[in-house]
Amino acid sequence: MKKYLALLIFLPIIFFIASCTDSTTDPVTSATEYGTFYLETAPSYAQFFVDADTQFKVSNEDTVKNLTVGTHTIVVKNDNYADTSFTVTISANKLTTSTITLSPKTVVYGPIKIWETTGTGVSQPSGLILSTGTTASSSNAAIDMLYYSNSASSTYDLRSSDLITSTARKTRFKAAGTSNITDGAAAPAFDAATWTNKIPDRDTTQYYFVYDYDGHYAKVKVASYGDNSGQEAYVNVQIVYNKAVGEKRFK
């Protein structure tokens, strides 16, 4: 009788233990993991965007914390340089670094017709504004260069506007030695002793590097030339203008 009583007591306990052993536990969800991203740009003072929705202003370098683990798209912007896009893979609790050199933003203008300074009218502008690729009167204080001719019509050249006007906008030139103005070659550093203030108006065999009053580098080439039924002379010029101050690279 005692054996049966003991069995009745222990059976419920055994069934309880068995039920606990067979039951499943709820899955544990891991917390979101994060990493840190460090960006350095050359030149400095750029902006970069993470996955197109977050903007960070950086001056040469910056660190972004708490980026989710995985791949992110980074877009770097600077007004005077081409946008740069790349991807980074962020690891948990680690620092990911990138160093980016931006490509300069250049603008190609032309051919642009400019007329000789002597004997031409209002509709035949002799001056050229490099930054916009537009023509203006030779007396306009904003021009960087002009197509000069003297009253005897014996002297013709493309020259800096400061040579015949009161403007302080000095423009200087240096021969490139090649005719392909879109070759992407970098300009040599400006040197006042070796850069000239005027260039030939009939030299179509090569382009010339340009350094303007605002510190911009450019390229200029005489694409063609002619006259107006044997009267006023003109040149058609092509320009590649570098938008970043002091930037000698063209690609």
Q: What is the pLDDT, as a whole number, of residue 64?
A: 84
pLDDT digits (tens, 9 = 90+) for 56-95: 655 666 788 888 999 999 888 888 999 999 999 999 999 9
Where is pLDDT greater, at 167 or 238? 238
**Using omega within 30 degrees of 0 as the cis cutoff, is the peptide bond preceding 43 cis?**
yes
The residue whose two tokens read 């030695």 is 177
Q: What is the pLDDT, as a whole number, of residue 67?
A: 86
Q: Is the pLDDT of residue 16 over 70?
A: no
Q: What percent of the chain has pLDDT over 90?
A: 59
Beta strand pairing call for 127-129 and 106-115: unpaired
Q: What is the pLDDT, as a whole number, of residue 31?
A: 62
Q: What is the pLDDT, as a whole number, of residue 59?
A: 61
Of 50, 100, 56, 53, the residue nearest 71 (C-alpha): 50
Conformational region of residue 246, where left means phi above 0, alpha means psi within -120 to 50, and beta covers everything else: left
pLDDT digits (tens, 9 = 90+) for 29-47: 346 799 999 988 888 877 8
Q: What percent of the chain has pLDDT over 70?
A: 82
Instruction: Specify the DSSP class assigned to residue 201.
Output: S
Q: What is the pLDDT, as a whole number, of residue 23?
A: 46
Q: Is the pLDDT of residue 147 over 80?
A: yes
The residue whose two tokens read 């536990």 is 25
Query: Cβ distance 167 to 160 under 8 Å?
Result: no
pLDDT digits (tens, 9 = 90+) for 204-232: 999 999 999 999 999 999 999 998 767 78
Instruction: Specify the DSSP class assigned to residue 22.
Output: H
Q: Which of 48-62, 64-78, 143-157 has the lowest mean pLDDT?
A: 48-62
Superfamily, domain 34-101? Immunoglobulins (2.60.40.10)
Query: Cβ distance 223 to 110 under 8 Å?
Result: yes
Instruction: Report d(CA 90, CA 74) in Å as an integer.
Output: 12
Q: Where does residue 19 rank: exposed (0-12), middle (13-18), buried (19+ CB within 10 A)?
A: exposed
Helix (H) or strand (E) holding 9: helix 2-22
Q: Where in the chain is the domain with CATH 2.60.40.10?
A: 34-101
